[in-house]
Amino acid sequence: MNAALRTDEELMQSFQTGDADAFRVLFEKYKTPIFAFLFRRCGNRDTASDLAQDVFTRLVKSADSFRHQSKFSTWIYTIARNAVVDNARKARHRNHASLEDSREKDGPRLGDRLAGDSPEPDRSAMTRRLREDLVEAINTLPEDQREVFLLREYHGMPFQEISEVVGAKIGTVKSRMRYALETLRRDLDSYENYARTLP
């Protein structure tokens, strides 16, 4: 069967038996979303790139530990989350500035650093400002709420899968999402009248 038509779990099973093509298909499918997840978590493109390499290295080294009891996507996002946590812990140990800082000295604005499509040339200044303020608001969420929000809203992950990735009960995950949305709604309240004027 064509590798591209097989499920992630089938591809992983093939990779476990030595099929390098199966790994290449998984890598091509996940390299961009995993990088985007890491970038949104750490806020630095170079760090995210390094962590992405680490994630796939860990995947290769621990391939035999994937037991097909959960979805492959859950497993790889768990690896990615652990890579971010480990990196942040090492940074704190070295007394470096937090990787979670919302801005970098002399770096691009947050709205420009957000992975995704570039703003269209005719986008209004208000829309650009809203985008930047939204990113800023997301970055100031408590860590546990922010990771749930990102996995749900940016990666479309169901709550059950998020609960497995973050190691929390599904009720706790839903509560974190609710608190995140309430905080963002409050922080962006000034845009409510503007939003009503949009077609």
Confidence at residue 5, expressed as pLDDT on a 0 to 100 scale: 73
Predicted confidence (pLDDT) per residue in 167-195, tens digit: 999 999 999 999 999 998 888 886 665 55
Torsion region of 80: left, alpha or beta (phi above 0 gives left; psi -120 to 50 gives alpha): alpha
Assigned CATH class of 108-199? mainly alpha
Confidence at residue 69, expressed as pLDDT on a 0 to 100 scale: 79
Pick the residue with more confidence: 164 or 194?
A: 164
Per-residue confidence band for 196, with pLDDT thresholds at 50, 70 and 90: low
Task: Decide if pLDDT at 58 tops 60.
Answer: yes
Confidence at residue 106, expressed as pLDDT on a 0 to 100 scale: 44
Q: Where are the domains of the chain?
A: 7-101, 108-199
199 vs 194: CA distance, rounded Å: 11
| Nearest by Cα to 150 from 65, 48, 62, 63 | 48
CATH architecture of 7-101: Orthogonal Bundle (1.10)
CB contact at 8 A, 25 and 13: no
23 vs 13: CA distance, rounded Å: 10
